[in-house]
Structure 1
Amino acid sequence: MLIFAHRGASKAAPENTLKAFKLAFEQDADGIEFDTYQHESGIIVFHDRTLTRRARETGYLLDTPWQSLKQMDIGDGEHIPSLSETLQCVPSDRWCNIEIKHLYDVNSWVEDVKKAIKQSNISTSQLLISSFNHHWLNAITDLWPEIKIGALTASYELDCTASARTLSAYSVNIALDAVNKQFVQTALQEGFDVFVYTVDEPRDMLMLKEWGVTGIFTNLPNVAFNTLSD
């Protein structure tokens, strides 16, 4: 079962920072997951719409110039990274899940992601794009049909793979509170990988492993590695 570090090793280092991502790989994570916004200056890695929680600043992320954003301390002296900086810290044999929180132009988004990939060592085959906004994902697949799509959901719908089928997705990325064994079996039988978020308790990790889940997103990649290696 694959272990994705949710916003990096985010219990041990500030979330969505290069420090958290590098630590995740040191803790044997198979990949990292992080949040992105399409800013007027490019794609940046951050979770919140506002700066209050992470940067202890007033104002909105997208209203703030990139030059100001990258000077902000978001914990332990770490700064908000760009997508390119983030991908450059990913080893060539590891996975990357880019979650989209905001985009305004799909064409330039795809161009910027492809440019960031070329500046890194990662393989497109181990890149997964997810979002709760399936309209964005659908538009991305129209422009970039070979990219892997994760149909992100927090609910167990009556037709649990409907969105994944519509998007020609690679996986269904579902919340721990919504998933059950039948959901996993159905999705796997229909050819979709299943990734579950956010899984920090060893008991849940072992349950999902028994169900055959493809991978988990966790804030504690070291705990997941030790639990699942036994």
Structure 2
Amino acid sequence: MTGTHLKWKNWAHVTKLDPDKHLDAAAVEAVATSGTDAILLSGTLNVTRENLADLREQVEDYGIPLVVEPADPEGAVFEGVDLLFVPSVLNTPDARWVVGKHQQWALACPEIPWEQVVPEAYIVLNPASAVGRVTRAVCDLKPAEVAAYARCAEHYFHFPIVYIEYSGTYGDPAVVRAASEAITGASLYYGGGIDSAERAAEMGRYADTIVVGNAVYEKGVETLKATVKAVQ
């Protein structure tokens, strides 16, 4: 557990699997052995403790680090995972997604294993995405505005991860570059629309870690492997 907690900063490629989507056993094995650094169990809609636990059971025997990123902190599952990446969405007017739901989580679950928790500062930039709609994120931001959020995340709030989330669409490399240049110690994660080696390499120039999700379901494991090779 401790080793995984220290090594996450060195991950270049993370694969996101959605509990609300299905992969057969062969595909799960191919993902787990693709060379990706970790598997992130995460989704926005229709994520339950049951389907999250089912997905965890599918991937837990491969020896790859497992991370749960709860859509709602109150739905977090601790058992059988290495880390919890817990997001706060910075660019929303709804404070529930910054700290409110987290406070409710701490109230309902006083025994949170805080040594497993890694806070993430989310900057959500696709208004059509489920996470954009649910959190009411303000997405029409210029690169300088995103960079300012990133600086606040690192220097004011001391988030260890700044996550640029385009969720389902390929983002603007200039935005990711601006965020990268704004921070010095936090790790920059990028997720959204990476469905080729070329896109992985482009965003990998600026982000410390790229997250690949939809491509696994839409284009298959060979595409995933190509994105791994592009950044490692």
- Normalised to the residue count of structure 2, the TM-score between the two structures is 0.51
Equivalence for 2:229: 210
Query: CA deviation digits over 1:2-45, x for unaligned, max 9?
Result: 44323x25337x8311112111211226223443xxxxxxxxx3
1:145 shift after superposition: 0.6
Equivalence for 2:68: 32
Q: 2:55 and 2:203 mapped to 1: Cα distance?
A: 26
Is 1:15 equivalent to 2:46 in the alignment?
yes
Structure 2: tracts of 5 or more residues without a match: 1-12, 24-44, 61-65, 125-136, 138-145
Equivalence for 2:173: 157
2:85 maps to a residue whose letter is C
* Mapped contact 2:195–2:224 kept (Cα < 8 A): no
1:172 shift after superposition: 2.1
Structure 1: tracts of 5 or more residues without a match: 36-44, 46-82, 214-230
Instruction: Select 1:104's aligned residue among 94, 110, 125.
Output: 94
* Mapped contact 2:122–2:164 kept (Cα < 8 A): yes
Instruction: Select 1:4's aligned residue among 16, 19, 22.
Output: 16
Higher helix share: 2
Q: 2:212 and 2:67 mapped to 1: Cα distance?
A: 14
2:224 maps to a residue whose letter is M
1:54-69 matched pairs, under 5 angstroms:
none
Equivalence for 1:175: 193
Equivalence for 2:111: 119
Instruction: Select 1:193's aligned residue among 209, 220, 230.
Output: 209
CA distance change for structure 1 residues 131 and 15 in 2, over 3 Å: closer, same or farther? Answer: farther
* Mapped contact 1:92–1:123 kept (Cα < 8 A): no
Query: CA deviation digits over 1:116-154, x for unaligned, max 9?
Result: 786323535544342415577766556531442212233
Q: 2:20 and 2:55 mapped to 1: Cα distance?
A: 5
Equivalence for 2:158: 145
Moved more, 101-110 or 126-135: 101-110
1:210 match: secondary structure: helix
2:22 match: secondary structure: coil
1:167 shift after superposition: 5.7
Alignment RMSD (CA, Å): 4.0
Equivalence for 2:120: 128
* Mapped contact 1:97–1:130 kept (Cα < 8 A): no
